[in-house]
């Protein structure tokens, strides 16, 4: 059974708002795949998502560092970008499994194709589609 | 004989020290902090047992499987000590530690399971007879659902939520934590049998083929 929700965004601000909204229905311990092309709103979405859960840090793109970690009280958000990784073992070497199985953390993973075959406890996919200029389509499937 | 035992295969770090029939232990207060805690805790346990690093005769280490990063941290620390102090390392399989601490409760074929991630567990089977045990097959990874119909006793380490899925009524189902005393006892036994390893060919037992094509 797959449930999908479709959101439409007309500006980065709206994308943030959608992230903010969705964050409230996600449990800690979940992994979220963010799938979409460059500049389709993945990081902007994460910004809103972190805000929605009360995180105060400034969210930046993890493309260069591969992983950005944000903490608030005893909770964590792990924002991955696997674009530059070449194999699953590279993901394991940076402690990937420990992050994924942290009950107090949510993993948001950009370019997750590499670890698609791993076994996840709870996994949600969010697809981002660039329509035109500032218009984006965001599809969430549970 | 003095042995320092390091159990770093799960998210919290356990240390044990055996000194002339006395046993000392220490558990980390925070989880997922092995790299930060290990130096401080080793200092603490040495103080507690009023000994120094130079007194040690060997280092025992739980060699996995378990948390990938934590195993690496523990193993590199043990190797560092072993190299500088010129004393042997005694690697003990984490499966064996879990089995040994529950040995009196089981009889016959027994599966030792260690939770990994998602719904994946590491499994290793032993035959238990008269308080001794024999390895039946090599460790491997399995999805929990594949194992539910098993006719073996189960010794499970990890999240309780997943242990509760096993309902094998006529066999023993045991949910257990890692016991540092078992590691110490096993390592004393192995030390006497000269089951130590040189640094060069020693690495954690990660188990499972993670190269997914």
Place of tokens 């620390």: B77
Q: Is residue B147 part of a domain?
A: yes
Chain B residues in contact with A88 (beta carbon < 8 A): 210-212
B209 falls within a domain: no
Instruction: Read off the pLDDT of residues B166-179 as tens digits, 9 standing for 90 and up.
Output: 887 788 999 999 99
- In the 8-state DSSP scheme, what is residue B56? -
B93 near B157, Cβ under 8 Å? no
Out of B11, B69, B118, closest to residue A118 by CB:
B118
For chain A, the domains span: 27-141
* Residues listed for chain B: 213
Q: Which of A93, A102, A117 sits opposite B212 (nearest CB)?
A: A117
CA–CA separation, B159 and B114 (whole Å): 9
* Mean pLDDT score, A43-56: 95
Would you call B111 helix, strand, or coil by DSSP?
Answer: strand
3-state secondary structure B2-32: EEEEEECCCCCCEEEEEECCEEEEEECCCCC
Distances from the Cα of B46 to the Cα of B41, B84, B186, angstroms: 9, 17, 21
Residues on chain A bordering chain B, Cβ-to-Cβ distance under 8 angstroms? 87-89, 92-93, 95, 97-98, 100-102, 117-121
**What are the tens digits of pLDDT across the range B25-71?**
999 988 888 999 999 999 999 999 999 999 999 999 999 899 888 99
Q: What secondary structure letter does DSSP report for B160?
A: H
Residues of B in contact with A117 (CB under 8 A): 212
- Give which of A131, A67, A63 is closest to A105, Cα–Cα: A67
Q: What is the pLDDT of residue B212?
A: 41
pLDDT above 70 for B209:
no
Domains in chain B, number: 2
Residue B161: CATH number of its domain: 3.30.420.200
Q: What is the largest CA-CA distance in chain A?
A: 40
DSSP state of B197: B
Asked whether residue B204 is assigned to any structural domain, the reply reads no
Selection from B129, B135, B140, B114 nearest residue B209 by Cα: B140
Shared domain for B45 and B83, answered yes or no, is: yes
Kindly state the average pLDDT of the residues B152-159.
Answer: 94
- CB contacts of A89 in chain B (<8 Å) are 210-211
Q: Do the strands A75-81 and A105-110 form a parallel or antiparallel pair, or are they unpaired?
A: parallel
Of the candidates A88, A101, A118, which has its C-beta nearest B211's C-beta?
A88
Q: Is A29 left (phi over 0), alpha (psi -120 to 50) or beta?
A: left
- What's A27-141's CATH class? alpha beta
ipTM metric: 0.75
Which domain does B56 fall in, by range? 2-93+178-192
């Amino acid at each position: 059974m797959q449930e999908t929700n479709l959101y439409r965004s007309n500006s980065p601000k709206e994308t943030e708002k959608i992230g903010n909204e969705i964050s409230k229905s996600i449990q800690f311990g979940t992994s979220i795949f963010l799938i979409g092309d460059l500049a389709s709103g993945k990081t902007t979405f994460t910004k809103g998502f972190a805000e929605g859960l009360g995180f105060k840090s400034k969210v930046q793109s993890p493309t260069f560092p591969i992983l950005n970690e944000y903490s608030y009280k005893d909770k964590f958000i792990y924002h991955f970008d696997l674009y530059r990784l070449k194999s699953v073992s590279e993901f394991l070497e940076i402690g990937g499994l420990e992050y994924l199985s942290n009950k107090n953390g949510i993993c948001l993973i950009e370019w997750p194709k590499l670890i698609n075959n791993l076994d996840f406890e709870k996994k949600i996919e969010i697809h981002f589609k660039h329509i035109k200029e500032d218009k984006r389509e965001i599809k969430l499937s549970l | 004989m003095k042995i320092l035992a390091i159990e770093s295969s799960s998210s919290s770090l356990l240390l044990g020290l055996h000194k002339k029939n006395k046993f000392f232990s220490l558990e980390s207060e925070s989880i997922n902090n092995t790299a930060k805690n290990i130096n401080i805790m080793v200092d603490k346990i040495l103080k507690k047992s009023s000994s120094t690093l130079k007194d040690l005769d060997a280092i025992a280490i739980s060699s996995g499987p378990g948390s990938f990063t934590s195993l690496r941290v523990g193993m590199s620390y043990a190797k560092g000590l072993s190299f500088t102090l010129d004393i042997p390392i005694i690697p003990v399989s984490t499966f064996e530690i879990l089995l040994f601490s529950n040995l009196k409760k089981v009889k016959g074929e027994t599966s030792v399971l260690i939770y990994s991630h998602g719904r994946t567990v590491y499994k290793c089977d032993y035959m238990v007879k008269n308080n001794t045990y024999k390895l039946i097959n090599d460790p491997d990874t399995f999805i929990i659902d594949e194992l539910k119909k098993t006719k073996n006793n189960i010794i499970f380490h990890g999240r309780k939520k997943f242990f509760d899925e096993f309902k094998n009524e006529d066999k023993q189902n045991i949910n257990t934590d890692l016991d540092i005393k078992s590691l110490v006892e096993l390592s004393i036994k192995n030390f006497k049998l000269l089951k130590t390893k040189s640094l060069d060919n020693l690495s954690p037992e990660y188990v499972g083929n993670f190269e997914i094509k």
